[in-house]
Structure 1
Amino acid sequence: MADKKENELSAGIPVRLRGIDTEGNSINVSMTETKKSLFFVQFINNGSLNDINIPGEYILYPAVKDNPFNGWCWLKVIGGSDYIQILILFSSLEEKRRSCINGEYSEWK
């Protein structure tokens, strides 16, 4: 395999990836390991829920404005130019959802 050029490789679903670690060493990792390294949660400790519109997963501090729970929450944002926000309160797992279409937010439900 090492003697093949990149454009000679056949198409398919990868099960392992080759790369370089932070110290420049060659590595060969499984897809599971790769997926784990790509997943991350952002912590938001101030600002407004109305400004969080990039798809991803977040942990919100109680100080974040426009939070209907006013407590520690998980937030999942799904979509693109239009999106939904799913908010879950840590303490009770109560859930609220809303959408943003053409820049207009729906009510939390």
Structure 2
Amino acid sequence: MSKERYTEEHEWIRVDGDVGTMGITVYAQEQLGDVVYVELPEVGRKVEKGKEMAVVESVKAASEIYAPVSGEVVEVNEALTADPATVNRDAAGDGWFVKIRLSNTGELDGLMDEAAYKSYVEGLH
């Protein structure tokens, strides 16, 4: 069973084989407020860990979304274009952003597990 990993920028990734599904955390969408627009990368785009790969806009602000790992975008969640509020309703499920074929699975080792991320978020308050 795959486990989620988290970044300090509040992205999550769930890996199955060599493909990771990623999105933003429940905490991130709560901080953003009502999401009104999501700009996703093109399928086939190469992304680099820690570099901007998408944009999410809310009624409060626009925020960059950073790639949690390096690789190639193999699928984007087109449903977010029509209904960006899906991110608010189900950030860890139907509100996923992209699927990335990992070019270096070792990059996952630098991400937090759920317990570490929960502790990290608690430290932000």
TM-score by length of 1: 0.28
Give the number of the structure whose residues are more often helix, by fraction.
2
- Say which one has the larger Rg: 1
Which one scores higher on RCO, CA 8 angstroms, separation ≥ 6?
Answer: 2
